[in-house]
Amino acid sequence: MISTRRALVAAVRQAQVGVWLPVAALATTVATVVVGAALLGTSGYLISRAAERPPIMALGIAMVLVRAFSVARAILRYLERLTSHELALGALARLRAGFVARLIPLVPAGLPRVRAADLMSRFTADVDQLQELFLRGLLPPVAAVVVIGLAGSAAAIMLPAAGAALVIVLVAFAMLVPLTTWAVARSAGQHQAHARAVLSMRIVDVLEGAPDIVAWGTRQAHIAAVADADATLVRLGRRDAYAGGLAAGLGGLGAQLAALVVLIVAVPAVRAGRLDGVLLAALVLMALAVFETLTPLPVAAQNLSACGQAAQRLEDCVDRPIPIVDPFVPTTPGPGRTLTLRGARVSFAPDAPPVLDGIDLELRWGRAVAIVGPSGSGKTTLCEVLARLRDVDAGEVLLDGIPLARLCQSDVRRAVTLVPQDAYLFPTTIAANLRIARPDATERELCEALERAGLAEWVGSLADGLETQVGQDGALLSGGERQRLTLARGLLAPGGLLVLDEPTSHLDAESEAAFLDDAHRAGVSARTGLCVVTHRLAGMDRFDEIIVVDAGHVRERGTHAELLEAGGWYASMVSATAV
C-alpha cells in the first residue's frame, strides 16, 4: 500500500496548481489578516488617544487610516476568497480529470478485484475531499507562519518584550491546538473514508438488487446492513464534530490568553515609561486580531489527515501497472483483413490456472464465425484479447501479420469493434448512445445503423424518435431493443471486424433467430466481418465456421454440418438442446 505522504505528494503534483495562484492566495490571505490587525490596532490607538482630548487635527491620520484599513480589508477579503476558491476548485477539476484519465487504461484487466461501488465512492467522495487540500489544508499553516512573524515584528517595534511574548503564545497555540485536535480525531479520520465506501457499496447493492431482494424476502436484512454502515459513519462524524468543538474552544481561550500575556508584559512597561500608554490598546487588540490566522489550523490538521486518507485510497486504486500500453514507435497498420491468434495464453494471476491456454485461430474479414462453448470456458476473455482490452501472457495476436503490441490501441479498435455482453447504455437519448461509437455521426448515419440492426421501424414509431430517452442502463427498453441498440452502436463504430459477446443471452428463441439474421446480414455485408461469441447454439448454420472453446482450449472447429457429423462436444450439446 502506498504511504499517505507519497499519496499527498502525488495529489499535489496531479492538481497542477502552478506557482502564481498559490502565491496570490497566500498573499491575499496574509494581507487580509495583517490589515485586520492594523485596523484593530489603529482603532485601539485612536480610542486611547481620543480619551486624552487632543486637538481634532491630532487624530486626523488615525481616523483616515481606520477608514482606509476598513475598505482595504473588505477588498482583500473578496480577493482572498476569489483566489483561494479558484485555487481549490481548479485543483479539484484537474484532480478529477487526472484520476479518471489514470483509471481508464486500467479497465478491465488492471482492476480485477475493485467493486464498481467502491470506485464510485473513491472518485466522488474521496476526490471531493481533496478540494480541501489547498484551501483548508496547506494554505492555513503557511499563512500562519508568515502572520506570526509579521505580528511579532510589529509588536517588537513597540515593545520588544511584548513581541517575544506574543510570538511564544502564538507558536505554542499554533502547535498544541492542532496536535490535540488531530489526536482526538485521528482514529475517526482514518476510518471515515472506508466507512463512507462501505455505505456507498451497501446502498448500490440495494438499488441494483432491489427486485431480487424483494423476491427473496431479504429486505429487512439489507436495510439493517445499510443502517449499520450509516451508524458507523455517523459515529465517526460525531467524533470529528467533537474535535471541531474542542478546537473552537481552545482557539477562543488562546486569543484571550494572548491578550492577557501582552497586558502582563506591557502594563509594567507603561508604568516605567518604556511604552506610551496610548499604544497599550493597540498591542492588545492587534494580538486578538492576529489570532484569526490560528483559528483554521485545527481544521487544517483534520483536513490534511482526511485528504491523506482520500489520496491514499485513490492512489491505491490507480497506481498500478497499466496492462495495455502503446509502443513508443508504433507500426503503421495494414488494411485489416485477418486477425490471428497463435498459442495465446492468458492467466488472471501468476499462480492461477490459465483462462486461455494455447489458443490458435484465424478470423478473416468477409466471413461470419461463431465461437461457442460452455460458461466459464474463457470466451469473454478471448473477446477482450481480440479487441486488445487484454494482452496475452504467452503466444501472439496478429492483425494482418503485425503483432498487436506493435500497433496503437486506437488502430486496433479501428479494425476490431467489440460489443460486450453487458454493454452499458447511458441514461440519455438513443442518438447520444449511438454517438458514443462515433461522436461526429450524422443523423442519416445513425438511421442507417439502426436500419442494419433492425431498429429503424421501431425508432420511427416513437414520438421523440432518436431523441427518445432510454433510461438508466436501458431500463426503458425491452431486452431485444436493448441488444439491437448496442448492435447498432457497434455497427456505427469504424472497426472492420464486429465481435459480439453473448449478444442473445437475454432474448427468447424467436427474438434470437431474428437478431442473428440481422447481425449476420449487417455484420458481413456492411462491416466485412462478424464474430459472435456465445454459449447458445441456435442458428449456428448461418456461420461459415464454428470454433468450440472449452476450458481455455480449442476443442473443435468446422461448419455446423461438419461438427454434427464429427459427433463431438458440439454434436452432443446440439442434441441435448433439441431434446
What is the domain partition of the chain in residue ranges?
A: 4-318, 338-578
Is pLDDT at 378 greater than 60 in this prediction?
A: yes
Q: pLDDT per residue over 270-303, tens digit each?
A: 888 888 877 888 888 888 888 878 888 888 887 8
The model's confidence at residue 469, banded by pLDDT at 50, 70 and 90, is very high
What CA–CA distances, in Å, run from 301 to 134, 142, 393, 467?
Answer: 12, 13, 46, 50
pLDDT mean across residues, the chain? 83
Residue 579 has pLDDT above 60, yes or no: no
Residue 541, pLDDT > 60, answer: yes
Tell me the C-alpha distance between 299 and 247, whole Å.
8
Q: How many CB atoms lie within 10 A of CB 125?
A: 17
Gyration radius of the chain over CA positions: 34
What CATH number belongs to 4-318? Answer: 1.20.1560.10
Residue 341: pLDDT band with limits 50, 70, 90: very high
Tell whether the model's pLDDT for residue 525 goes beyond 70.
no
CA dist., res. 207 & res. 157, Å (int): 66
Residue 393 has pLDDT above 60, yes or no: yes
Q: How far apart are CA 296 and CA 490, in angstroms?
A: 54
What is the model's pLDDT at position 184? 67
Whole-angstrom distance, CA of residue 332 vs CA of residue 334: 7
pLDDT bucket at 28, cuts 50 / 70 / 90? very high
The pLDDT value given to residue 380: 86
510-538: string of b/e by CB count within 10 Å (b at 16+)? ebbebbbebbbebbbeebbbbbbbbbbbe
> For position 467, what pLDDT does the model report?
92
CA distances from 576 to 180, 511, 556, 570 (A): 72, 21, 18, 10
DSSP SS3 for 346: strand
pLDDT exceeds cutoff 90 at 510: no
Among candidate residues 363, 352, 353, 367, the one with its CA nearest the CA of residue 385: 363
Question: Is a pLDDT exceeding 80 seen at residue 46?
Answer: yes
pLDDT at 481 over 70: yes
3-state class (DSSP) for residue 137: helix
| pLDDT surpassing 60 at residue 526 | no
CA dist 412 and 433 (Å) reads: 22
Q: Provide the CA 82 distance to its chain's centre, in angstroms.
A: 26
- As a whole number of Å, the end-to-end CA separation of the chain is 54
Residue 459 one-letter amino acid: V
Name the one residue in this structure whose C-alpha cell is 492576529. 290
Q: 3-state DSSP helix/strand/coil percent for the chain, to nearest 5?
A: 65, 10, 25
Separation of alpha carbons 457 and 488, rounded Å:
13
> Mean pLDDT across the stretch 84-108?
84
Q: Judge if the upstream peptide bond of residue 420 is cis by omega within 30 degrees of 0.
A: no
The per-residue pLDDT for range 100-116, each reduced to its tens digit, is 888 887 776 666 566 66
Taking alpha carbons only, the member of 527, 137, 177 closest to residue 366 is 527
Compute the distance between CA of residue 59 and CA of residue 46 in angstroms, rounded to an integer: 7
Q: In the chain, pLDDT over 90 holds for what percent of residues?
A: 7
- Whether this prediction's pTM lies above 0.95 is answered by no
Q: Is 154's pLDDT higher than 60?
A: yes
For 303, the 3-state DSSP assignment is helix
Taking the domain 338-578, which CATH number applies?
A: 3.40.50.300
Per-residue pLDDT tens over the stretch 242-256: 777 777 777 778 778
**Mean predicted confidence (pLDDT) in 527-549:** 84
In angstroms, the CA 462 to CA 484 distance is 16
